[in-house]
Amino acid sequence: MTMTDWVLSVIFAIPLAFICGSVAWAASSAPRDRRSPVSRRHLARGAGLCVAGTVVMALTALATREDVHYDDFGSVMTILAGMLGGLILLLGLGPFVPWQLRAAERHTVRLPGPLRLTAHRLSDRRGRTAAGVAITLTGTAVTVATMIIASGVTATDRAGYVPQARSGALRVEIFTAERGPAARAALQRELPAVPLIDRYRANGLLYVDVPGPYRDYRTHIGDQVLLRYLTADPATPYDEGTAVVITSDDIGATSVQLRYSPTVTHSSLTEKVFPAITVKAPGPGVEGVFVPAKAIQNLGLRPEPDEFIVDPSLHRTSPAEQERISDRLGDDATVYVERGFQAPTGWIPFAAATALLALGGALVATWPAPSGSRSRRVLLRVGARSCSSARRLITSRTAFLAACGTVPGVAAGCLIGLTLVWPMTAPFDWDPAPRPDFVVPWPPIAALAAGLPMLTVLITAFASPGRGSPDMRAAPRLPIGAEPKPGDRDATT
């Protein structure tokens, strides 16, 4: 196993350890019987961890709230500190799960009988119930936090996205000039009837400075075909002794300054003023300065193949073609097709997995107790002595327990996501743009909060509550909300 594999294993093992610790703490904090309270010592320690985790996340958010350049290493450490604070918060919520269940039982005494029975005697196995609710809570919190962070990162990336070519254009960037002929031949075999546009780079050093406000213009070296692609206008004048400034700014440059050297030392740079014209860029992705390849040769430099371009007005490269070209070229070149900003989707499988984890926890907590248990017999003997009545009580209890994990999980996930989104979107550029407003994905969060209990109810509703249970016809009928007495048949103390 390589060092990278070890690092990735640790990165994934630490959150899993905290989540397992929260679930184990919730199960161990559950009281042994229905009259024993939850240990105050566990609650005090859990509250301390919740406060500590919240403070750590708040400090990381405050440290990255400004839109300035942040050091890469420092930002990574800040992100890790914020994630650790969120995990500490989830760990501290563990002992509050059985406390929440006990509080629900205690405050439903004055409710009507059916509602009181829903929260009464939540399970014969309180440790299992507390563990299942804790799994639902942590899974929901991680899912909600992931959705909020992904929404903020996507909005930031979309605001800072800069196209690399005209929309729909294919770019094949060559790593070394020696691989140019082989890459061109392979590309022509995949696209035999499509003309290729050559773009060159100069050996040695070449800097092009445009008069006016400073802007990092890209240098395009090529022939008349490349100029037509860059300007998207066949009428653009081409002259081997004139550069073309392609920009969306209103600068009207009539000359550019070239600083060049055949070697890679800056001490021997030669400066030359080169005549130029300015044209309007047809769109983002092509702005820069076009310098004819013949002019580069006249300076004593040698143009070398840099990339091949397919004009989108002549051919639109499909994703299948892009994949075939990339497979054929292998490590000789980088294949890129400009399709605009593509929102990242790598977080969706992770969020789906954590949502399924939350659903599994809800099923563990709400799955009907064994047929011989007291709570099952109470359900079967209450009401009209029918499975439909017991099924309604089981499904209502299912919705209640699922909500006990989902509601605090959504609250914790919102707190974690809204604080961690700041360090996760901290700019690394030296000239950062203002971050856009963070749009919280409330509709998906609401769908998760409402859909998880409903899905749990639907799954549990298909489980027969009377299978393997005592004979319902022989069971004495109990009033709504009452419990079997010690003398009743099949009652247990």
Domain map of the chain by residue range?
12-161+345-461, 170-337
When mean pLDDT is compared across 62-66, 167-171, 302-306, 367-371, the lowest value belongs to 367-371
Rounded CA separation 484/493 (Å):
9
Rounded CA separation 99/109 (Å):
16
pLDDT, residue 72, reads 76
CA-CA-CA-CA torsion for 465, 469, 470, 472, nearest 10 degrees? 20
- 137: tokens are 């809570």
- Mean pLDDT in residue range 308-336: 90
Phi, psi of 271 (to 5 degrees): -105, 140
Please check whether residue 344 is in contact with residue 150, taking contact to mean a CB–CB distance below 8 angstroms: yes
Beta strand spans in 303-387 (E): 303-310, 333-337
Rounded to a whole number of angstroms, the distance between the first and last alpha carbons of the chain is 56
| pTM, full prediction | 0.81
Q: Is the pLDDT of residue 2 over 80?
A: no
Neighbouring C-beta atoms of residue 387, cutoff 10 Å: 17
Rounded CA separation 23/364 (Å):
12
- Mean pLDDT in residue range 272-287: 89
- Mean pLDDT in residue range 446-466: 81
pLDDT in tens, 70-98: 877 777 888 889 999 999 999 999 999 98
- Mean pLDDT in residue range 411-422: 94
Coil/strand/helix, residue 300: coil
Find how far residue 1's CA is from the centre of its chain. 27
Buried residues in 278-317 as b, exposed as e (16+ CB within 10 A)? bbebbebbbbbbbbbbebbeebebebebbbbbbbbeebeb
Please check whether residue 92 is in contact with residue 50, taking contact to mean a CB–CB distance below 8 angstroms: yes
Please check whether residue 337 is in contact with residue 330, taking contact to mean a CB–CB distance below 8 angstroms: no
- Mean pLDDT in residue range 105-123: 62
pLDDT in tens, 4-38: 556 556 667 788 888 899 999 888 888 776 667 77
Please check whether residue 94 is in contact with residue 21, taking contact to mean a CB–CB distance below 8 angstroms: yes
